[in-house]
Structure 1
Amino acid sequence: MLATVCAVVYGTADFFGGLATRRSRVLAVVLLSQIAGLALLAALLPVLPGVLTTEALAWGATAGVSGTTGMVLFYRALAVGVMSVVAPITATTSAALPVLFGLATGERPEPVALGGVLLALVAVLLVSRDSSAAASGRGYGPVLASLAAGAGFGGFFVLLSQAPEGAGMWPLLGARTTSIALIALLALATRRPPRPGPGTLHVIVAAGTLDMAANALFVLAQQRGMLSLVAVLVSLYPASTLLLARYVLGERLNTVQVVGIGFTLAAVALIAGG
């Protein structure tokens, strides 16, 4: 239940983030949303129990590097690509990575889960086919960025799960402070002031707050269940992103993409079922 709610919240956060990147620079959206999320985390730390250790903060910081890389690439893909295509590609990649990590560390998922990984690869190829006029000239840039973003998010899940038992929300503090520092340094290096576009600040704050709420739900779910199950359930988040993109933005998909999205959700379901 925690993982399913987490997926809904992640998907809603990504929708708001995607909207913001269309009128603001990516670095501004990421930095300001991360700061908004840190404010929520500060309120959660005294409420949710946990033991503060150097190891917990270190694993969180490492996860923060992976997650920040994924977020920058993801928001970039959302800014130049079609939201209802970018989200499923990112999700299938981030769902498959924890399964592959489990295989490398000795886990042996059921054959149905491995079949889900293969189906996910097919889904990526199908859902990436955007033949609309609006997509002409985009090439494979958004697709490659989406794949890389999914790897970053998958790494975030794997690394965060390595924090010591009983750490509570403290690993998220390490992740979030590292993320803010990296984005601030990147903004300074590129000399791009992180100013939000007109009328986007409230959207950015909503994206950051929801993202941190989803992170907290993931930590709670992972502490109570297996990573290989929780991570793929969380990766169902495109469902809410797609619904919002469909009914708020009026995005349309071609037949191949519709089949690909169906394969995407089926792949995540197979991985979770394994």
Structure 2
Amino acid sequence: MIPLLLATLCALAYGASDFLGGLAARRTSVVTVVVAAQVAGLFVLAPLIGVLPGRPSWPALAWGAAAGLAGAFGVLVFYRALAGGRISVVAPASATLTAALPVVWGLGMGERPVPAALFGVALAVAAVALVSHDPSARGGRAWVGPICQAAAVGVGLGGFSVLIAQPPAQSGLWPLAGARLASIGLLVVLCLATGRNLRPNGPRATGAAVGAGVLDMAANVLFLLALRSDGLLSIVAVVSSLYPAGTLLLARYVLGERLRPVQLAGVLCALGAVSLIAVT
């Protein structure tokens, strides 16, 4: 029960973080937003490492660094998609694939999810096609961009979930430290190489980016604590992927977004798919 509760709180934190990150990415460079968010999250993590038990080790830091690079890639693509499209469409499409990857990993490692979870993976594919549907777009390849973006986000964020679960339990939160240092290093180099400003444009963008980073790190800590509380990766990862529920509510009531009927059907399929996968 405790892992499920922690994973649910994780999903809520991720949902609010993505909403704020998407807003910030509409006002300033996506890379700049992610750098500011990652640095803000590091300030949240630093005092928690000393409070929660755990010992640093090179394997834990290395697994964390790999997870951080995967997560940074996923977040960059995700925020860019949020900045250029409707939040209530992009978030569910990405979440379905993010949830499916740990299930595929579990199958490869010998886990056998119940048939409902396998059906959820198939439903996720249908959901991506529905929520990506844009009747105003012309040309037969209009669907390629959204689906490729969702796939890239799913590989990045789903890969983060798989990789961050590999270090031993006694490593505490140190894998998150490795993840955050690696991702910040990569993003700073990317900013310098492309000549982008490391500071967001204006106080609103800065506040949204910092808020996104604080909530994202809180979600990461909850995710790792859920795993440390004897939670199964195939359960924790997919329950935490319910984050579009929070993102959708915020987009609906803060931004007043509306969905076409076919896209609404896709959103419902996406949430249903994540819920089905969660029964594993």
TM-score by length of 1: 0.96
5+ unaligned residues in a row in structure 2: which ranges?
none
Distance of 1:84 and 1:111 partners within structure 2: 28
Q: Deviations over 1:182-240 (max 9, x none)?
A: 00011111111222112211111101000000000000011220000000000000000
- Deviation of 1:139 after TM superposition, in Å, equals 5.8
Contact 2:52 2:173 in 1 (8 A): yes
Contact 2:132 2:146 in 1 (8 A): no
Distance of 1:210 and 1:88 partners within structure 2: 19
Identity of aligned residues (%): 57
Counterpart of 1:259 in structure 2 is: 265
Contact 1:16 1:207 in 2 (8 A): yes
SS in 2 for 1:181: helix
After the TM superposition, which segments of 4 or more aligned residues of structure 1 sit over 3 Å from their partners?
137-140
1:230 aligns with 2:236: yes
Contact 1:27 1:72 in 2 (8 A): yes
Contact 2:37 2:209 in 1 (8 A): yes
Counterpart of 2:9 in structure 1 is: 5
5+ unaligned residues in a row in structure 1: which ranges?
none
1:250 aligns with 2:233: no
Counterpart of 2:245 in structure 1 is: 239
Counterpart of 1:127 in structure 2 is: 131
Contact 1:73 1:148 in 2 (8 A): yes
Q: Deviations over 1:119-162 (max 9, x none)?
A: 111111111113368xxx97643442222012100000000000
1:82 aligns with 2:74: no
Q: Deviations over 1:46-83 (max 9, x none)?
A: 11111111111010001011001001100111111111
Distance of 1:146 and 1:194 partners within structure 2: 26
AA partner of residue 232 (structure 2): M
1:184 aligns with 2:188: yes
TM-score by length of 2: 0.94
Q: 1:99 aligns with which of 103, 107, 112?
A: 103
Distance of aligned partners of 1:212 and 1:138 in 2 relative to their CA distance in 1, 3 Å threshold: farther
- Deviation of 1:109 after TM superposition, in Å, equals 1.0
Name the Cα RMSD after superposition. 1.4
Counterpart of 1:205 in structure 2 is: 210
